[in-house]
Amino acid sequence: MNRARLLLTIILAAACIFVTIGDIHLPSAKGIDFDGFSAIRASKEIEIISSEPHSIYHPRERAKVKEYLASRLEDMGVKCEIFHYDSLQDKRGYVFNISNIYSVTEPLIEKASSYILLIAHYDSSPAINVKGEKVVSYGAADDGYGVATILEILRNVLATRAEWNQGIKILFTDSEEYGLLGIKSALDYQRDIFEDVGLVINIEARGVKGPAILFETTSGNSNLIDLYKYSPSPYAYSFTSAVYNILPNYTDFTLLKDTLPGLNFSVIDNLNYYHTNLDNFENISLKSIQHYGDQILPLVSAFLTDLKYSDPNYLRSNENRVYFTIPFLGLFSFSQSIYLIIKIITSLVFLMLLVAYLKQSRISFKSIGQIMALNLLIIAVASAAGYLVAYILAKANGLPYRVINLAYVEYEYVFTFATLLLFTVLYTITYIIIMRRRKISSLNFIASGNILMLTLSYVSYFKIGDSIIFFIPSFIAVVMFLLNIFNYSKYLNILGVILLLMFVTPIIYSLSVALAIGSLFVVTAFWGLYLWLLLPLTDRFVRRNV
């Protein structure tokens, strides 16, 4: 074993993990004097909005937020309307009133034929019980982030109003946190709000930090993703829409996505802050707010100025795109047909390589079968251990175990990281033992891992229309599998390790924070699948003779 290469691999792997799950790749917050989107300027709005809880059970405080938002629009020279909906009632008989805030701004030249609609809700979550204690949210992130981002975006685009060809509509909804009543009322009584809308952007928050993820689009998103390419700091994965559809979560966007083309943004880290008293101004992330603005402002500007969006149907499409981001490398997107062609070509190349390596006796069906069975057993055991850890932690914290949205577990991320690290160490030891005692080539590991990942990618593709979480790692491994035909190409395996980590680490992070620790068994299983490819690629770079 080459110790220098091993040390280099450890350093590079640690760096990849650090930069992709930390906030180092997020844009730094811009100051008040910055001529563009400023997170610090937006935070001033949040400080006022989140000074008090303002749920439907706080009518006086909610009215203050409503009046403040209306005054801010008026201060920017934008007239707004307030729509009142009276005598609504909760399940316990509590009667309350709600109000939506709406504005429309036309281009200076003439009335627009198409509009962008920006949506965020301004109510905070009602009180919830956390370990027997009733707590109430201040709504700093949920949805102070959304409201403040929209106000700061509006301030920016109004400066270029002379260049507009399309108009902008803004809807601040009330009572999103209680049954989406605000957006439902708008759809029932003010349908004209949604007339000639060519694009909806909804801004939410399911935590207080981390990247602002484009986590959902409407079906037929091909043209939407083309627009999204204007963003200089994209963070999006097409598989998140499929994951979100199985979660018991809803936003205002839920009621619009079947009729209007749109994009839904949110931070998702940390669930323990979500809807609790920890969602306050002291815990906001300026980097996250800046990331919202840096992504969304260019889209709004492009939509308002480019004549092609004057057709409100322009962004509609019958085709979906498969897309993903790799930090620092940007957004990659493919049409479904091109993506399928790439999958088929990759599969054929892999099959030809299998035949070639079998003929050269560099791999064998017996070894591949043994590794497949053993690795599946290891992943199953590790997944069961992940479930056990989550179950024990839930009980230790006095919480009922549930697979999704298991919140308020102390040191959740520490236990998640420790579980994955311990699994990695044990998996690596097992791998080394197999390699030394059985004298099995690392190519057998790559081959068996690719067979499984490609199979899963086809199942996933035809089942939900997306398979990047399986196919992209397999694609990278197949390229490395191909390069290992040549004698000195094994040094390129470190490149495969880096690319794999840059892709899979954000996915593991996203799954961990989105599903919470109750789904640790799922996260552990995915990490096991990725290790199946990472370890042999690392081995081929580190060892002198493979």
More confident residue, 149 or 24: 149
Whether the predicted pLDDT of 93 surpasses 60: yes
Based on the fold, state whether residues 342 and 449 are members of the same structural domain: yes
Residue type, 521: F
Instruction: Tell me if the bond preceding 143 is cis, omega within 30° of 0.
Output: yes
Q: Is residue 320 located within the same domain as residue 420?
A: no
Report the distance separating Cα 322 and Cα 242, nearest Å.
Answer: 12
Omega before residue 192 within 30° of 0, cis: no
pLDDT for 19? 83
Distance, in Å, from the CA atom of 183 to the CA atom of 266, rounded to the nearest integer, reads 18
CA distance 320 to 221: 5
User: If pLDDT is split at 50, 70 and 90, which confidence band does 439 have?
Assistant: confident
Mean pLDDT of 163-174: 98
- Pairing between strand 330-335 and 167-173? unpaired
**Of the candidates 120, 327, 321, the residue with the CA atom closest to the CA atom of residue 235:** 327
Integer Cα distance of 170 and 70 in angstroms: 11
Residue 342 phi, psi (nearest 5): -60, -40
Amino acid at 238: S
Give the pLDDT confidence of 40-86 residue by residue, as tens digits.
999 999 999 999 999 999 999 999 999 999 999 999 999 999 999 99
Inform me whether the pLDDT recorded for 188 exceeds 90: yes
Q: What is the mean pLDDT of residues 440-449?
A: 91
- Please give the Cα distance from 377 to 383 (Å, whole number): 10
Identify whether residues 468 and 399 lie together within a single domain. Answer: yes
What is the CATH number for 122?
3.40.630.10
Helical ranges in 159-221 per DSSP H: 181-189
Q: How far apart are CA 512 and CA 517, in angstroms?
A: 7
Same domain, 221 and 281: yes
Record the tokens describing residue 365, joined without a space: 């069906």
CB atoms within 10 A of CB 414: 9
Nearest to 175 by CA among 57, 76, 337, 338: 57
3-state SS class at 236: strand
Task: Name residue, tokens 């809803």.
Answer: 250
Tell the residue number behind the tokens 């910055």, with chain if given: 34
Same structural domain, 408 and 501: yes
Whole-number Å distance between alpha carbons of 501 and 93: 53
Percent of the chain residues topping a pLDDT of 70: 98
Residue 132, pLDDT > 90, answer no
Three-state SS at 468:
helix
What pLDDT is attached to residue 372? 94
**Do 66 and 189 fall into the same domain?**
yes
| Residue 436 reports pLDDT greater than 80 | no
Average pLDDT on 364-387 reads 95
Instruction: Say if CB 331 and CB 236 are below 8 A apart.
Output: yes
pLDDT at 248 over 60: yes
| Same-domain status, 351 and 214 | no
Q: Please state the pTM of the whole predicted model.
A: 0.94
pLDDT tier for residue 24 given thresholds of 50, 70 and 90: confident
Strands 262-267 and 197-205: parallel
Total structural domains in the chain? 2
Q: How confident is the model at residue 487 (pLDDT cuts 50, 70, 90)?
A: low
Q: Domain range holding 430?
A: 3-20+335-542
Q: Which residues of 362-388 are buried (b: 16+ CB within 10 A; e: fewer)?
A: ebeeebbebbbeebeebbeebbebbbe
pLDDT at residue 488 in the model: 65
Same domain, 339 and 436: yes
- Across residues 74-103, what is the average pLDDT? 93
Which amino acid is located at 147 in the chain? V
Q: Which of 326, 354, 379 is the last residue of a domain?
A: 326
Calculate the CA 226 to chain-centre distance: 18
Under 8 Å CB-to-CB from 328, ≥6 apart: which residues? 19, 25, 502
The reply to whether 158 and 180 lie within a common domain is yes
What's the pLDDT score for residue 544?
Answer: 60
Residue 462 sits in the same domain as residue 506: yes
pLDDT of residue 109: 87
Virtual torsion, Cα 388, 390, 392, 398, nearest 10 deg: -150
Specify the amino acid at residue 279. Answer: D
Give the other-Cβ count within 10 Å of 346's Cβ.
20
Q: According to the model, what pLDDT value does residue 236 have? A: 96
Q: Is the pLDDT of residue 218 over 70?
A: yes
| Final residue of a structural domain among 326, 361, 383 | 326
Q: Alpha-carbon distance 96 to 81, whole Å?
A: 20
Q: Are residues 118 and 210 in the same domain?
A: yes
Q: Please provide the DSSP assignment of 332-367 as one string.
A: EEEEHHHHHHHHHHHHHHHHHHHHHHHHTTSS-HHH
Structure-model confidence comparison of residues 109 and 503, the more confident one:
503
Q: Which residues pair with 128 in a beta bridge?
A: 135
Give me the pLDDT at residue 223, please: 97
Give Cβ neighbours of residue 59 (< 8 Å, ≥ 6 apart).
96, 97
For residue 486, what pLDDT band results from cuts at 50, 70 and 90? Answer: confident
When the pLDDT of each residue in the chain is averaged and rounded to a whole number, the result is 93
How do beta strands 133-135 and 128-130 pair?
antiparallel
Among the candidates 326, 349, 376, a domain finishes at 326
DSSP letters, 358-391, are HHTTSS-HHHHHHHHHHHHHHHHHHHHHHHHHHH
* Phi, psi angles (nearest 5°) of residue 332: -120, 130
Identify whether the C-beta of residue 506 lies closer than 8 Å to the C-beta of residue 514.
Answer: no
Burial-class residue 194 by CB neighbours within 10 Å (0-12, 13-18, 19+).
Answer: middle
Whether 535 contacts 428, CB under 8 Å: yes
**Over 90: is that where the pLDDT of 463 sits?**
no
Residue 1 in this model has a pLDDT that exceeds 70: no
Cβ atoms < 10 Å from Cβ of 189? 12
Do 393 and 538 lie in a common domain?
Answer: yes
pLDDT at 420: 96
Residues 357-373 have pLDDT tens digits of 999 998 999 999 999 99
Alpha-carbon distance of 175 to 179, in angstroms, equals 7
